[in-house]
Chains A and B, each alone.
Chain A
Amino acid sequence: MAHHKISVTVNGSVESVDVPSNMTLLTMLREKLGLTGTKNGCTAGECGACTVFLNGEPVNSCLVLAVECDGAEVRTVESLARNGQLDPIQQSVIDHNAVQCGFCTPGVLISARALLDRNPDPTEEEIRDALVGNLCRCTGYIRILDAVKDAARVGAAPGTGGSR
């Protein structure tokens, strides 16, 4: 398998990584960079647990090849809190107890952050549309929905997701 040296900015720091052609962004984050916050729920683009920001857009990192990320900017759940201070969406998820096993949570947070960055005042329908790809087997969703609504209501504060 051919290997490639890529340069990618992850959570603000420039990383130079040696990746095989078939390695996904998800595997690179978890295994090459030790960023295990991003989870692998299906490796098939179905569950959303692996959602990260790629150049400001939420993507399923299990469907992106690491080599495609040469020169790109990636942000993961580990970057949401700034100086230990939780992002409002993280706080809202805690306030609403929208976590059970926690395996879907990192992906949910990224999708929600992405939604609030582009639309600080989403309707319920818009929230459902934006998070329909983030499955959760534990919570039954009601609290996830409420947490996102509330994060929007209290003013979603500065976005941490995009590169803008």
Chain B
Amino acid sequence: MKNVDMQMHVRGTSQFVDDLAAPAGCLHAALVTSRVARGRIRSLDLAEVLAAPGVVAVYTHRDVPGLNEVGHVLRDQPLLAVDQVEYIGQPLALVVAESHQAAWQAAALGRADIEELPAVLDPREALAQGMIHGQKRILVSGDPDAAFQTCRHVVQGRLASGPQEHFYFETQRALAVPTEHDTIKVHASTQSPGAFHRHLAEVLGLPMHKVELDIRRLGGAFGGKESTAVWVVAPALAAFLLKRPVKLVLPRNHDIATSGKRHPYEYDYRIGLDEEGQILAYEVDLYQHAGACADISLAVLGRSFLHASGAYRIPNIRVRAVSCRTNIPPNNAFRGFGVPQGTFAIEAAVTHAAEVLGVPAAQLKRKNLAGDGDVLPFGMVLENTNSGRCWETLDARVDLAARHAAVAEYNRTHTDSKRGLAVVPVCFGISFAQTALNQAGALVNIFVDGSVEVSTGAVEMGQGVNTKIQLVAARTLGIAPDRVRVHTTNTSRVPNASPTSASTGADLNGMATKYACEDLLTRLRRFAGQHLGHDDPEQITIREGVVHLAGKPTELRWEKLVAAAQWARVDLSSHAFYATPNLHLDPKTERGRPFAYYSCGTSLTEVWLDCVRGTYRLESVEVVHDVGRSLSEVIDRGQVAGGVMQGIGWSTVEQLRYAPDGRVLTGANAYKIPDLKSLAPHFAVTLLENSQNPNAVCNSKAVGEPPLIHGLGAWFAILDALRSVRRDKDLPSLPLTPEKVFMYLHG
């Protein structure tokens, strides 16, 4: 089934936060932010801001009625700075004005007298100075030291991967409307109903039942609207203090300059193999460039850490991971949540090893590919992965050996241009690694006319979760999908909801919806039995909106059944709850089963490289991915294609620069995301056939994040072409922009 919002989207009638009709008297908020990366605040001078045309009020931390704190995991992020600043772009004061433009123009007039301290912008330097978030993590499995002694080949190196800007099309925004009894209603673009609800209440000093957060849809999020609550809480604070509606819409360049990114990482790796190319040992240090506040960085780091072995079977391993506190805006979640970085390191290590062994990287990868029965470094046994089947399916589609031969032949006969290819297997754990977050509630109401309304904690951001939930409800109740409507995500209908992230939106909320519908169905079947003079509800089913008795259709239609049941005083509303079973991870031993299952796939990426100019073209991308028994093939294929393209962007053209003082230099005009010309002439997505998954709703598998990893294939394919030209250099960093490619070739 298609995305239910599509009709409105093409007519321009779907509403995002900024499309809601502005309530009478609506004001606009903006932020005065720090121009210094690190220092002590001596004083703020906001006189000019206050005197600017259209300005209604200016607030500092002193005006916060509740807690001046929006730290997502640790309490280390003030809403408005108190006595120190930790990054350029940190909010110092909140400006409220008659128009959006007036507010931002006035905010630019804010001045702060700050005693500057030396900013730390390099993660290794931060570590050397003891500037870290949380604790270092170490995971050891087997005996890596002993194993390295026995290895025939040991290869080591250093690597780095850069930041990635989310570039969700709809920037951060919220509209807050004061309501009676000192309550407030906030319409926001956020993935985290439960957490943001709590942040709002804490900052306003209100009990949570006085705050209502409503989320209709997001113009993209990709993790960037999961944890940083500043832009939702700030307008609510203004609205609460002024008792007037206030909207904040973050201008694009402010969004780029002050919001979190995918974390840059640095890596030291060492890999050991035997004669046959079997990986015996792997050691990796992950240095996460986290920025000034912990935000959600430790959770991201945890995922990189747990995915350090990538898609491979590695008997002896040591992983060390640390989150480095630097003076840049706090980085946060981005689709993949640390897995792309963890995977990048092991993929590079294996590729580097293949080069030393003189064999194609794909050969080593296939040989060491983890599959069912293999044990991950933290003790979880892989089941139902289909990893080998994904690889064979890809091979059958493309003939890997022939592709390798064709590239080799091209490169033998060409000097001014080269081709390169890469096979990337993906193995991605599904569930929040933080066990507590793996829960969801759903409220299903059936009205007397037979229409059905579902509310969950899932946020629609273009990934199609509402459509999937609608399908689950319709399928479970035995009625047509158009009888079901999925309502906005609202904290008054479904409280304390986990963020829609970690690819779990449909898994968790779909399952809660299914339970609620099953509960209603039980009541309706019992009633239908009585109604039809048949007291065995087991004999009653509902199919295509018609009550069936012993498998045969009756005269009783859904609408009549529902109306009669209501009249007979049957409750037609149900709330249900789902918590993913059997998840655990012991933080002391780093052992457990943090994921419900794994999502796997394999892809082939081919590129053509102009060795004179350093430019390249993606020629072909072939992806095979396992989505279980898909709830909606059209949606899942779209998720795969979009995810892969974001991964390609991260690997190739998306580059963000910081000035030596810690300022983000790249604006909307310089930050390049892939465009229509980046799309490879051949781009094919195959969903693995005959796949089942007992661990998620209706046998499906999560699809939001894992496919992004295939985008790494672009980096490795370009690398493959580059290494056919010269190998006397270290591996370049990610992304491989054309400039970097040129410098690699000619520098």
- Which positions in A face B, CB cutoff 8 Å? 22, 30, 34-47, 49, 76-78, 80-81, 86, 90, 93-94, 97, 99-106, 109, 127-128, 131-145
- Closest chain-B Cβ to A85's Cβ sits at a distance in Å of 11
Q: Interface-forming stretch among B14-22, B119-127, B470-478?
A: B14-22
B220 A140 Cβ-Cβ under 8 A: no
Q: Interface-forming stretch among B65-73, B581-589, B672-680?
A: B672-680
Q: How far is A80 from B7 in the complex, measured between Cα atoms in Å?
A: 13
Q: How far is A39 from B189 in the complex, measured between Cα atoms in Å?
A: 15
A99 B252 Cβ-Cβ under 8 A: no
User: Looking at the complex, which one of B19, B217, B253, B668 makes contact with A101 (CB distance below 8 Å)?
Assistant: B217
Among B21, B634, B675, chain A packs the most CB atoms within 10 A around the CB of: B675
- Closest chain-B Cβ to A51's Cβ sits at a distance in Å of 12
| B251 contacts A by Cβ under 8 Å | yes
User: Looking at the complex, which one of A34, A90, A142 makes contact with B10 (CB distance below 8 Å)?
Assistant: A90
Chain A residues lying within 8 Å of B166, measured Cβ to Cβ, are: 137
B14 A46 Cβ-Cβ under 8 A: no
User: Given the known A-B contacts A36-B19, A134-B676, are A100 and B683 also in contact in the complex, defined by CB atoms under 8 Å?
Assistant: no
B669 A86 Cβ-Cβ under 8 A: no
13 contacts between A and B (CB under 8 A): A36-B15, A47-B169, A78-B13, A86-B11, A90-B11, A93-B6, A100-B642, A101-B218, A101-B461, A127-B676, A137-B167, A139-B641, A140-B642
B676 A132 Cβ-Cβ under 8 A: yes
- Closest chain-A Cβ to B336's Cβ sits at a distance in Å of 15
Give residues 615-655 of B contacting A (CB, 8 Å): 634-635, 638, 641-646
Nearest B-chain residue to A124, judged by Cβ: B681
Give residues 293-318 of B contacting A (CB, 8 Å): none
B641 A142 Cβ-Cβ under 8 A: yes
| B337 contacts A by Cβ under 8 Å | no
| B341 contacts A by Cβ under 8 Å | no
Chain B residues lying within 8 Å of A94, measured Cβ to Cβ, are: 2, 6-7, 10
DSSP majority for the B interface?
Answer: loop
Q: How far is A143 from B634 in the complex, measured between Cα atoms in Å?
A: 11
Closest 10 CB pairs of A and B: A37-B12, A101-B462, A102-B9, A140-B645, A103-B219, A103-B169, A100-B462, A77-B12, A140-B641, A36-B19
| B222 contacts A by Cβ under 8 Å | yes
Nearest B-chain residue to A46, judged by Cβ: B668
User: Given the known A-B contacts A36-B12, A36-B19, A106-B12, are A47 and B668 also in contact in the complex, defined by CB atoms under 8 Å?
Assistant: yes
Among B8, B15, B462, B646, chain A packs the most CB atoms within 10 A around the CB of: B462
- Closest chain-A Cβ to B404's Cβ sits at a distance in Å of 26
A135 B673 Cβ-Cβ under 8 A: yes
B12 A100 Cβ-Cβ under 8 A: no
User: Given the known A-B contacts A36-B15, A106-B12, are A44 and B169 also in contact in the complex, defined by CB atoms under 8 Å?
Assistant: no
B638 A104 Cβ-Cβ under 8 A: no
B220 A103 Cβ-Cβ under 8 A: yes
| B667 contacts A by Cβ under 8 Å | yes
Q: How far is A141 from B372 in the complex, measured between Cα atoms in Å?
A: 35
- Which positions in B face A, CB cutoff 8 Å? 2-3, 5-16, 18-19, 21, 101, 166-170, 217-220, 222, 251-253, 461-464, 634-635, 638, 641-646, 667-669, 673-679, 683
A140 B3 Cβ-Cβ under 8 A: no
A143 B638 Cβ-Cβ under 8 A: yes
Chain B residues lying within 8 Å of A144, measured Cβ to Cβ, are: 676
User: Given the known A-B contacts A90-B10, A101-B220, A137-B168, are A132 and B677 also in contact in the complex, defined by CB atoms under 8 Å?
Assistant: yes
Chain A residues lying within 8 Å of B642, measured Cβ to Cβ, are: 100, 137-140
- Closest chain-A Cβ to B642's Cβ sits at a distance in Å of 4
A145 B676 Cβ-Cβ under 8 A: yes
A109 B10 Cβ-Cβ under 8 A: yes
Q: How far is A6 from B166 in the complex, measured between Cα atoms in Å?
A: 38
A135 B675 Cβ-Cβ under 8 A: yes
Chain B residues lying within 8 Å of A141, measured Cβ to Cβ, are: 645, 674-676, 678-679
Chain A residues lying within 8 Å of B677, measured Cβ to Cβ, are: 128, 132
B252 A39 Cβ-Cβ under 8 A: no
User: Given the known A-B contacts A42-B252, A42-B668, are A102 and B219 also in contact in the complex, defined by CB atoms under 8 Å?
Assistant: yes
Chain B residues lying within 8 Å of A97, measured Cβ to Cβ, are: 2-3, 6, 634-635, 638
- Closest chain-A Cβ to B625's Cβ sits at a distance in Å of 13
Chain B residues lying within 8 Å of A39, measured Cβ to Cβ, are: 16, 169-170, 219
A142 B253 Cβ-Cβ under 8 A: no
B10 A86 Cβ-Cβ under 8 A: yes
- Closest chain-B Cβ to A34's Cβ sits at a distance in Å of 7
A99 B673 Cβ-Cβ under 8 A: no
User: Given the known A-B contacts A37-B13, A39-B169, A105-B10, are A99 and B3 also in contact in the complex, defined by CB atoms under 8 Å?
Assistant: yes
User: Looking at the complex, which one of B15, B101, B673 makes contact with A137 (CB distance below 8 Å)?
Assistant: B673
Q: How far is A35 from B673 in the complex, measured between Cα atoms in Å?
A: 28
Nearest B-chain residue to A35, judged by Cβ: B12
User: Looking at the complex, which one of B10, B101, B217, B641 makes contact with A93 (CB distance below 8 Å)?
Assistant: B10
User: Given the known A-B contacts A46-B669, A97-B2, are A104 and B169 also in contact in the complex, defined by CB atoms under 8 Å?
Assistant: yes
User: Looking at the complex, which one of B9, B463, B675 makes contact with A132 (CB distance below 8 Å)?
Assistant: B675
Chain B residues lying within 8 Å of A138, measured Cβ to Cβ, are: 169, 220, 462, 638, 642
- Closest chain-A Cβ to B540's Cβ sits at a distance in Å of 36
Chain A residues lying within 8 Å of B220, measured Cβ to Cβ, are: 100-101, 103, 137-138
User: Given the known A-B contacts A42-B668, A94-B2, are A49 and B169 also in contact in the complex, defined by CB atoms under 8 Å?
Assistant: yes
Chain B residues lying within 8 Å of A143, measured Cβ to Cβ, are: 638, 641
User: Looking at the complex, which one of B11, B15, B217, B683 makes contact with A142 (CB distance below 8 Å)?
Assistant: B683
Besides A34-B21, A138-B220, 10 new A-B residue pairs in contact (Cβ under 8 A), listed by A number: A30-B18, A41-B252, A42-B252, A46-B669, A93-B10, A94-B6, A100-B638, A134-B676, A140-B645, A142-B641
Q: How far is A49 from B167 in the complex, measured between Cα atoms in Å?
A: 13
B676 A101 Cβ-Cβ under 8 A: no
Q: How far is A100 from B16 in the complex, measured between Cα atoms in Å?
A: 14
B679 A140 Cβ-Cβ under 8 A: yes
Chain B residues lying within 8 Å of A136, measured Cβ to Cβ, are: 169
Chain B residues lying within 8 Å of A101, measured Cβ to Cβ, are: 168-170, 217-220, 461-462
Chain B residues lying within 8 Å of A34, measured Cβ to Cβ, are: 21
Q: How far is A86 from B12 in the complex, measured between Cα atoms in Å?
A: 12
- Closest chain-A Cβ to B12's Cβ sits at a distance in Å of 2
Chain A residues lying within 8 Å of B168, measured Cβ to Cβ, are: 101, 137
- Closest chain-A Cβ to B567's Cβ sits at a distance in Å of 37
B668 A103 Cβ-Cβ under 8 A: no
Chain B residues lying within 8 Å of A131, measured Cβ to Cβ, are: 676
Q: How far is A159 from B21 in the complex, measured between Cα atoms in Å?
A: 31
Nearest A-chain residue to B632, judged by Cβ: A97
Chain B residues lying within 8 Å of A145, measured Cβ to Cβ, are: 676, 679
A100 B3 Cβ-Cβ under 8 A: yes
Nearest A-chain residue to B222, judged by Cβ: A137
A99 B11 Cβ-Cβ under 8 A: no
Q: How far is A90 from B11 in the complex, measured between Cα atoms in Å?
A: 8
User: Looking at the complex, which one of A38, A44, A78, A103 makes contact with B669 (CB distance below 8 Å)?
Assistant: A44
Q: How far is A143 from B637 in the complex, measured between Cα atoms in Å?
A: 10
